[in-house]
Amino acid sequence: MDIKKVHIVIPIVMAGIIGYLGTKIMDIKKVHIVIPIVMAGIIGYFGTEIMDIKKVHILIPIVMAGIIGYLGIPHISRPSSQPVRQVDLDETSLVISRMSYPQPFVDKPQRTDVLLMSPWLAPIMWEGTFNRDILNAQYRQKKFVVGVATFAVKKYVRFIEGFLGSANKFFLSGHRVNFYLFTDHPEKVPSMKLAPEKSLFIIPVQNYSRWQDISMNRMDIISNRIRTHWHYEVDYLYSMDIDVQMFEHIGVEIIDTLVGTISSWQYTKPRDSNSYERRPESRAAIPSGEGDFYYAASFYGGSVSEVYKLTTACFKGVTEDRANGIEAKWHEESHLNKYLLYHKPTRLLSPEYYWDEELPRPQIIRVKRLSSVRKDLEEVRS
Amino acid sequence: MEICLFFLLHFRRHDLLESGEICSHTLPNPHSHICLDDSLEWASPLPSILPSLPRNLLHETTICRREARPAFPRWVFVLLCRLSYPQPRSLDQKRLDVLTLTPWLAPIVWEGTFNSELLDSAYKPLNLTIGVTAFAIGKYTMFVGRFVESAEKLFMKGYRVNYYIFTNDPQVIPRVQLQPGRSLSIVPIKKYSHWQEISMRRMEAINRHIAEVSHREVNYLFCLDIDMVFHNPWGVETLGEMVAAIHPGYYNVPRSQFPYERRSSSAAFIPDSQGDFYYAGAVFGGLLKQVYEFTRACHMTILADKANGIMAAWQEESHLNKRFFSHKPSKLLSPEYVWDDTKPKPPEVRLIRFSTVNKDYKEIRD
């Protein structure tokens, strides 16, 4: 036969086609396809220039291409192999099976500078310890609705825009959230464009002359609202202060049955220095020698039923204290701390999730997700 | 000095009765209360996996809220009296040498990460019953005695435990003295000719047994290998929705070296670039309903492979790994909970709780 350089193209093209089909169906690595191509190239070059090319030599890459094809073809003609893997795969696992993320190594902890789990095995959320893509894939399928309760009473209405604007961007981005804004000035709520999954409900409330009362009565309002409305409307509910802004994503890692945030002022303190209420006359009293963490009342939540129990119990404590003429040191936060000491949260949020703006941020707080807004406390509370 | 007065079970219904009835007024049942976390369904003494039983028959509550289930139905541990324990400190990580949390936030249980007393005080009042399945087929019956004896001393001490020993030869199973509140039942099972077949049929057998028997008797179920012995306490820190154990031979190895099934024609296939951990087939467990689903799913993929004439590299362990990759476990047990006695103990493994018994495989598998 009259072998021309043109004919060398044939096995190369064949190898290319089989390689393309092979990588789609089998685990042929791209490397394997190079072999016949290179061989064809070498034979072609040396054969025509130096060596005595015989028809036989051209068979070699063709045979190789044939072998690779033979191994690849059974997988094309076995359609059952596809449905078998699809058996029992739901959306989450389909998404997970397509994900690419670094392997977690058992002997390589992600963070050694902070506590990642409480002694009752509740995870503590710190940057670097979780993969939000996996969590989103697991969460999305469940179609939960999360509610956020926040109060903007009297002068606090000025914080609404900052709160909603940043929450719209950073809070459970891509997931359904109902913001329930309680205010005594509904007319002052700015009109804001929210993402399609986010909804805003404005609920008028009464204001009180003392800011402490406004703060403490939130528990009562939330508890009532759960009973009348929210247990139908949402699965999870979070209570947040309005005078905050979000700077980084707060995602589905916060979703759990009962969630408390570790206070940014007191996360390093020994339990006896924590600002728990200590006077035994108060319902919020925690004896010395007890206490896990100091939780911030600015951000807590959980399943709608657990939050119901929490707010009901805390407000009961507030009412009993009022009847006894005593007010806990840090108002409803003291009652919250007592509740969470004896009803252990199933998940904890690090101070990344509520950082007080007045504090300088140390290295271990790698990310400031939510932070209070600078304000003149005396002025805004008047 | 801690004065432990008493710990009360935090029954959610009870609490709501105290705090004021919540009437779901759209339903006729006069005893309407909010039906809370569906996890209660499985922890009550009479859980039922039969779909025909409506939930309101299970615990006299009705619900008119949206049909939804919390993502992570976890127990909220309630303490009603003083318990003295060291304060957890935010900057004080107990184990600096190991991973204690997976990227999907499942705890990895190592010695030092949990407080047993705290957990016991929360779990004991719940009156749970924990089941254990183990297969003793052919010559493997010789391991039953040591397994059960060591479990009596170290497995879930103080809790109600039901052992289910699956065997083809009930006569040779020794009668071991059991603590009060613990029982052993023998489940007769067919012996297959090949040990691989025996191994793979376990998923089906466990699944069937849950549907027929154990759903009435236990809240949590662990499926363990019989040719192993307990050396140190195994307690309620291991309880979770779906629990897997990290294989002792592969816990510090890159994922491409995990002995996953690598042939794409198998239903247990996991490519080189994927995988979190290599889990041991010798230990898995969780809430009864989750174990039922898990064993069903594994059995389905095993059958699919059978239909295609392929057997996975490590039998049902490969299928278990595939399932745990796509449906991640909610809690992981460190290799302390499934150790291989032939391996030297590394510093990360401070305590060996459950480990293999040395044996001659050729001799016992024939």
Q: What is the pLDDT of residues A137-177, one digit of tens each?
A: 989 888 899 999 999 998 999 999 999 999 999 999 999 99
Residue B139, pLDDT above cutoff 80: yes
Q: Do A309 and B15 touch (CB under 8 A)?
A: yes
Q: Is the Cβ of B180 closer than 8 Å to some Cβ of chain A?
A: no
Q: What is the pLDDT of residues A317-327, one digit of tens each?
A: 999 999 999 99
Chains A & B: contacts with CB separation below 8 Å: 234
Smallest Cα distance from A221 to chain B, Å: 15
Phi, psi of B133 (to 5 degrees): -105, 145
Which residue carries 């007045």 as its tokens?
A358
**In degrees rounded to 5, what are phi and psi of residue A280?**
-65, -15
Candidates B78, B84, B269; nearest CB to A289: B84
And the tokens for A315? Answer: 């407000």
Residue B79's identity, in one-letter code, is L
Q: Please enumerate in sequence order all residues whose Cβ is within 8 A of that of B98, keeping only pairs 6 or more positions apart, or say none.
A: A106, A107, A109, B108, B110, B334, B348
CA-nearest of B237, B257, B334, B344 to A109 is: B334
Q: Which residue of A has its CA nearest to B22?
A: A227
pLDDT at B78: 79
Q: Provide the 10 A C-beta neighbour count for residue A30.
A: 9
Candidates A132, A305, A315, A355: best to mutate against B (most CBs of B within 10 A) is A305
What are the tens digits of pLDDT across the range B309-329?
A: 988 888 889 999 999 999 999
Residue B19 has pLDDT above 80, yes or no: no
Among A83-87, B30-34, B114-118, where is mean pLDDT lowest? B30-34
Burial (CB < 10 A; 0-12, 13-18, 19+), residue A342, is: middle
Task: Note every long-range contact of B210-217, with CB atoms under 8 Å and residues 24 or more positions apart, other chains counting.
Answer: B210/B49, B210/B288, B210/B291, B210/B292, B210/B295, B211/B49, B211/B292, B213/B164, B213/B185, B213/B187, B214/B131, B214/B162, B214/B164, B214/B288, B215/B47, B215/B48, B215/B49, B215/B288, B215/B292, B216/B46, B216/B48, B217/B129, B217/B131, B217/B162
Placement of tokens 């073809």 in the chain: A73
Confidence band for A282, pLDDT divided at 50, 70 and 90: very high
Res. B282 pLDDT band, cuts 50 70 90: very high
Cβ contact, residue pair A115, B334, below 8 Å: no
ipTM above 0.90, yes or no: no
Question: Residue B162: is its pLDDT beyond 80?
Answer: yes
Asked if residue B225 lies in contact with residue B313, where contact means CB atoms within 8 angstroms, the answer is no
Chain B neighbors of A114, CB-CB under 8 A:
90-91, 93
Give B242-277 pLDDT, tens digit per residue: 999 999 999 889 999 999 999 999 999 999 999 999
Known catalytic membership, residue A281: no
User: Distance from A363 to chain B by nearest Cα, in Å?
Assistant: 12
Residue-level pLDDT at A380 = 82
Once rounded to an integer, what is the mean pLDDT over residues A114-138? 93
The closest alpha carbon to A150, from A109, A201, A83, belongs to A201
Q: What is the pLDDT of residue B23?
A: 26
In the structure, what pLDDT confidence band is assigned to residue B103 with cuts at 50, 70 and 90? very high
Q: Give the pair of three-digit tokens for residue A187.
A: 């007319």
The yes-or-no verdict on residue B358 having pLDDT over 70 is yes
With a cut of 70, say whether residue A48 has pLDDT above it. no
Check A92 against B122: CB less than 8 A apart.
no
Instruction: State residue A70's pLDDT score.
Output: 58
Q: Which of A106, A235, A309, A337 to mutate to test the interface with B (most CBs of B within 10 A)?
A: A106
Is the CB of B274 inside 8 Å of chain A's CB atoms?
yes
Q: Which residues pair with B244 in a beta bridge?
A: B284, B332
Contact B230, B353 (CB under 8 A): yes
Q: What percent of chain B has pLDDT over 90?
A: 60
**Which pLDDT value is given to residue A19?**
59
Nearest Cα to A307, choosing from A277, A334, A346?
A: A346
Residue B31 has pLDDT above 70, yes or no: no
Dmax of chain B from CA atoms? 67
Cβ distance A119 to B114 less than 8 Å, yes or no, reads yes
Instruction: At B232, list the tokens.
Output: 């140190």
